[in-house]
Chains A and B, each alone.
Chain A
């Protein structure tokens, strides 16, 4: 079937500013191109959001900034601002150049960088969606090239009021579903055991449209990435919560919560208020895509970040050099910025893009292949320092913050089982569906990932009993990464033609800060044992 969706348009208001960027790059590196490398980065983030609950509001943020960079003597020098008139930007470019020329510091012993030409990019296979939007042949250096996420509903016509209407209607649906649940569940219960109604339902509808322009001596690229989210949270008087969400890369067409998904907000909080408490210990566990993804992200995602490796903060380079296997045949993890459809869905997760914040094109990379570590993800600095290939993982929280090696969408590869088959293989254990945070330990090789609650499995069937953490909160999963990845017993399949499993809407904070979009996911995975507390 032909895809009739159109790529998101480049905003007219940025054309003049975009036209100025090549001039800024010329100011930065003219006459020094043999020693220095410079680029200009323009970023605009337009966010519309609405929250409905007992306390309501709408918000519109427009955040726009320019980053100028000179790479010289092993140091990335950057200046950034949001005063975007021509004279201010030219002045910033001249000041940055003067700063680099005046500085006598020497950074890391890195080689001079020569960026790839368009012809070299075309010679290296590109993901289908990206290639389909590029000109047939290599464009001229100065030719602006635009890439946009395909959407059914044009993201540029979304309004805050439209989002408020969506959020209000969703809130009413959750409240109605909670009412129906209470009538059904409480009919047969004594009054003292009746579930109380939800104390509050809060619904967030949000759309963020990221526009990026990257200009260096070889290319002039832009991309528009709309990210849409509809999120509903049910809250009990005692504080137990349940959430459901729909979101990812695309327009309002993906902000759809089917009736059956609302139970997670409308019914689960009440059920969790009566949940049993888990005895701390190690259990046989099945994790859903949400939790599986966090494990992938934390396990060998952060460990395979090139800057972490470059600084000696990761255990991965040593293991790879010594050919130490760190997982079994089923332990394969991919980082893929070019996910524009997945499993049965026609949209990608929020960690996708066409090129990273240093202008490197998105290409899929296997970072762990059946237990064997491959090359790390990199940005420009890490690639030069480690002598490894460039990958499209140079990202920053915003123009205000530094660029680091960051994950895009990280997921376990699919297997061939069904979820029912995995459950049938569990005599005694639990199923973990909803994630609740996670944290990396790239040097120590341990892993922690949270889940909201556990569903009990006995004799190969779900019993319907729910368990929260030992003291009534979420359940934390923790184990040494290597032993955990050796305990994968089975994985479910994917319906995607290229085997991309579902990736969930997510975010990442590297070392507790620097928040970025990061999808993560994978199949349902059966683990023979995971420590839970």
Chain B
């Protein structure tokens, strides 16, 4: 039992014909998904034993109805996840009734693009063909790698593969679709010999099994687990120098990019416009300026897409160049509200590499904290301030062996950080899949960022 598109269209026509429905337009997103998941426990010799295994099939239809009412004209919007067990016409009529009470300035829905949509590889053909087989292959690969992981004991692991097929249709003539594949592997491990009281728990996400690059992932697990020795608190500092990795860079730049969206300007909160500097003060002499492009066309990445959420054709663009904003991300609705042309700029974040070298920083700077993992990096999307406990890191002092650090709190202000930072010259590609806690994020850029401004540490 699922909602069929032709039935939904018929019900929409019935509601539109009802006097006073106010139905002005609609968009419909349908999705069919299949997923396979296994939870595993690690045993002797890092044998991975499945203790929970799941298969899920999921059909969804989400309808967005727009109504116009009143004088001057106002536009309402209601989103309804259609219930296949209930009458479709009644659901849509109820959604329109709720939308008629909603008070927004009117805007026109985007029309279908005359030239159609770009062709973008968003799903892995092997997963599309047989997600269950790819899930089994993922577990087999993980078991092979685990058996070779001599220096660490695996405590638990999780393997997930999904395939989703989506359609987007609208009353303004948009009719398009895409397929998405998602894979993740998560593992918790501790250093051998055990038992001990620290573990690493990295997660790797991609759009296909090979994209996880499990060999590199397990090598990182081994290296990080091996570093779990004799941790100290970092020293308290009002002006610390830190190095962060690609996960934190991805998260920070994603929030910065949020301030390039026209929605931020419309909502009167902090926002950045073309010509603005992303740093909140002059750049330090030795600092490197940020250059960021968004690219939705890269194959097999988390933010690759042929179209935006509204159905505009996706567009690639340089958005920040040498620390200065070049383009604002303007969707169709905000474009009409703010009197600007809309664009479909979106996609994976491409950051220009820097001149720096991680090993060089650690060897030459007098005192630097390398933050390998934050316990919970919370970034305020409005103030762009951030703070977290250090889950695992290393303190490097010139001429001394590095020391493992753990605990304490490091806090920063991103726009202040961008006054004096540097990027590594080594490139990394990574993906964050969307879930209840984070959006989809694709990143292709430097594997490390040195920050010398706007960092404070509470520790020993």
Contacting B387 at CB < 8 Å: which of A65, A80, A84, A469?
A: A469
User: A59 at interface (Cβ–Cβ under 8 A)?
Assistant: yes
Contact flags A69-106 to B (C-beta < 8 A → 1, else 0): 00000111111111111001000000000000000011
| B274 CB-CB contact with A under 8 Å | no
Chain A, range 424-467, C-beta contacts under 8 Å to B: 436-439, 441, 443-446, 448, 450
Task: Judge whether B77 and A57 touch: CB under 8 Å.
Answer: yes
Report yes or no: B55 in contact with A80, Cβ–Cβ below 8 A: yes
Shortest beta-carbon distance from A456 to chain B in Å: 17
**CA–CA, A75 to B40, complex, Å?**
10
A164 to B389 alpha-carbon distance, docked (Å):
39
- Other-chain contact of B52, A76, A280, A318, A478 (Cβ < 8 Å): A76
**A357-375 near B? 1/0 per residue, CB < 8 Å:** 0000000000000000000
> Which of A31-39, A213-221, A234-242, A339-347 binds B?
A234-242
In chain A, what residue has the closest Cβ to B384? A239
A30-62 vs B, CB cutoff 8 Å, 1 = contact: the mask equals 000000000000000000001001111111111
**Contact of A164 with B102 in the complex, beta carbons under 8 Å:** yes
Q: Which of A60, A108, A399, A446 contacts B49 (CB 8 A)?
A: A108
In this assembly, does B229 line the interface, its C-beta being within 8 Å of a C-beta of chain A? no
Is residue B388 within 8 Å, beta carbon to beta carbon, of the partner chain? Answer: yes
A residues 493-522 near B (Cβ < 8 Å) are 509, 511-513, 515
Interface flags for A368-400 (1: CB within 8 Å of B; 0: not) read 000000000000010000000000000001011
A441 and B37: CB pair below 8 A? Answer: no
Known A57-B79, A381-B52, A443-B198; contact A478-B458, beta-carbon cutoff 8 A = yes
Q: Does B269 lie within 8 Å of A60, measured CB to CB? A: no
Instruction: Tell me whether B86 and A75 are in contact (CB under 8 A).
Output: no
Q: A77 to B201, alpha carbons, bound, how many Å?
A: 25
Distance to closest chain B CB from A216 (angstroms): 17
For residue B171, CB closer than 8 A to chain A, the reply is no
Min CB distance, A485 to chain B, in Å?
15
Known: A84-B85, A472-B385. A280 touches B238 (CB 8 A): yes
Residue among A56, A235, A399, A450 with most chain B CB within 10 A: A56
Closest to A443 in B: B199
A310 at the interface (CB under 8 A from B): yes
Residues in A whose Cβ lies below 8 Å from that of B186: 511
B181 within 8 A of A: no
**Does A420 touch B at the CB level, under 8 Å?**
no
Contact residue range for chain A?
Answer: 35 or more
Give the chain B neighbours of A403 by CB distance below 8 A: 52
Q: Is the CB of B269 within 8 A of A64?
A: no
* A54, B269: Cα distance in complex, Å: 11
Interface of chain B residues 236 through 283 with chain A (CB within 8 A) = 236-238, 263, 266-270
Contact status of A444 and B197, CB under 8 A, knowing A60-B94, A280-B456: yes
Q: Are A513 and B437 in contact (CB under 8 A)?
A: yes
- Tell me which of B1, B101, B454 contacts A83 (CB under 8 A): B1
- Give A471 to B269 CA distance when docked, in angstroms: 19
Known: A402-B39, A471-B455. A54 touches B78 (CB 8 A): no
Q: A58-B78, A107-B51, A444-B198 in contact; A82/B59 too (CB < 8 A)?
A: yes
Q: Is the CB of B156 within 8 A of A313?
A: yes
CB interface residues, A 91-129, toward B, < 8 Å: 105-108
Please tell me if B175 contacts chain A, counting CB pairs below 8 Å.
no
A310-B91 Cα distance, complex, nearest whole Å: 46
Known contacts A59-B78, A400-B35; decide if A279 and B238 are in contact (CB<8 Å): yes
Within 8 A of A (CB), among B87-106: 91, 94-95, 97-99, 101-104
Contact of B382 among A241, A439, A469 (CB under 8 A): A241
Q: Which residues of B contact A108 (CB under 8 A)?
A: 41, 49, 51
Contact A402 B238 (CB under 8 A): no
Output the residue of A108, A238, A280 with the most chain B CB within 10 A: A280
A246 beta carbon closer than 8 Å to chain B: no
Q: Which of A397, A443, A533 contacts B408 (CB 8 A)?
A: A533
A159 at the interface (CB under 8 A from B): yes
Q: How far is the CA of A75 from the CA of B49 in the complex (A)?
A: 9
> B113-121, B299-307, B411-419: which lies at the A interface?
B411-419
> In the complex, are the beta carbons of B409 and A478 less than 8 A apart?
yes
Residues of A near B380 (CB, < 8 A) are 239, 473-474
Query: From residue B72, how far is it (CB to closest CB) to chain A in Å?
Result: 16
Verify B407–A238 contact, CB threshold 8 A: no
- Which one of B78, B97, B376, B458 has the highest number of Cβ atoms from chain A below 10 Å of its Cβ? B458
Question: Known interface pairs A105-B50, A239-B269. Does A58 touch B102 (Cβ–Cβ under 8 Å)?
Answer: yes
- Residue B391 lies at the interface, judged by CB distance under 8 Å to chain A: yes
Give Cα distance in the complex from A18 to B85, angstroms: 14
Q: Are B458 and A311 in contact (CB under 8 A)?
A: no
| Complex Cα gap A476–B52 (Å) | 35
Interface residues on B, range: 35 or more
In the bound complex, do residue B78 and residue A443 qualify as a contact, i.e. CB atoms below 8 Å apart?
no
Contact of A143 with B by CB under 8 A: no
Q: Are A533 and B456 in contact (CB under 8 A)?
A: yes
Residues of A within 8 A of B457 (CB): 280, 533
Q: Is the CB of B436 within 8 A of A515?
A: yes
User: Which chain A residue has the least Cβ–Cβ distance from B102?
Assistant: A56
> Is B57 an interface residue, CB under 8 A from the partner?
yes
B residues near A444, Cβ cutoff 8 Å? 197-199, 391, 406
Q: Which residue of chain A is the closest to B156 with respect to CB atoms?
A: A311
Whether the Cβ atoms of B407 and A446 lie closer than 8 Å is: yes
| Contact (Cβ within 8 A) A78 B436 | no
* Contact (Cβ within 8 A) A107 B387: no
Tell me whether A252 is interfacial, beta carbon within 8 Å: no
From residue 1 to 55 of chain B, which have CB atoms closer than 8 A to chain A?
1-2, 35, 37, 39, 41-42, 49-55
Q: For the complex, what is the distance from the CA of A509 to the CA of B55, rounded to whole Å? A: 22
Closest B residue to A88 using CB positions: B1
A312-B157 Cα distance, complex, nearest whole Å: 12
Q: Mark B40-84, 1 if CB is under 8 A from A, else 0.
A: 011000000111111111111000000000000000111111111
A192–chain B nearest beta-carbon distance, Å: 21
Q: Does B176 sit at the interface, judged by CB under 8 A?
A: no
Complex partner residue of B236 from A63, A199, A281, CB under 8 angstroms:
A281
Please give the distance in Å from B399's CB to the nearest CB on chain A: 27
Contact at A533–B98, with CB atoms within 8 Å? no
Neighbour of B155 across the interface among A56, A59, A79, A313, CB < 8 A: A313
Pick from A60, A470, A515 the residue with the most CB of B within 10 Å.
Answer: A470
B188 sits at the interface (CB 8 A): yes
Is the Cβ of B98 less than 8 Å from the Cβ of A311?
Answer: no
Flag whether A315 is at the interface (Cβ < 8 A): yes
What separation, in Å, do the CA atoms of A439 and B392 have in the docked complex? 14
Task: Let me know if A200 and B437 touch, CB within 8 A.
Answer: no
Please pick, from A78, A439, A469, the residue contacting B411 in the complex, using a CB distance under 8 A. Answer: A469
Cα separation A112 to B378 with both chains bound (whole Å) = 44
Tell me which residues across on chain B come within 8 A of A280, comparing CB atoms.
Answer: 236-238, 409, 411, 456-459
Bound form: Cα–Cα A274–B440 in Å: 35
Q: Name the CB-closest residue of A to B55.
A: A79
Least CB distance from A168 to B in Å reads: 8
By the criterion CB–CB under 8 Å, are B80 and A473 in contact? no
Q: Most chain-A CB neighbours within 10 Å: which of B60, B80, B410, B411?
A: B411
Beyond A76-B52, A282-B458, 5 extra complex contacts between A and B, CB < 8 Å? A60-B80, A159-B98, A199-B268, A280-B236, A533-B456
- Top 4 A-B pairs, shortest CB-CB distance: A533-B458, A473-B385, A239-B382, A533-B409
13 residue pairs A–B, Cβ–Cβ below 8 Å: A58-B102, A59-B80, A78-B53, A83-B1, A85-B1, A107-B51, A160-B95, A235-B268, A280-B409, A310-B41, A443-B197, A473-B385, A476-B389
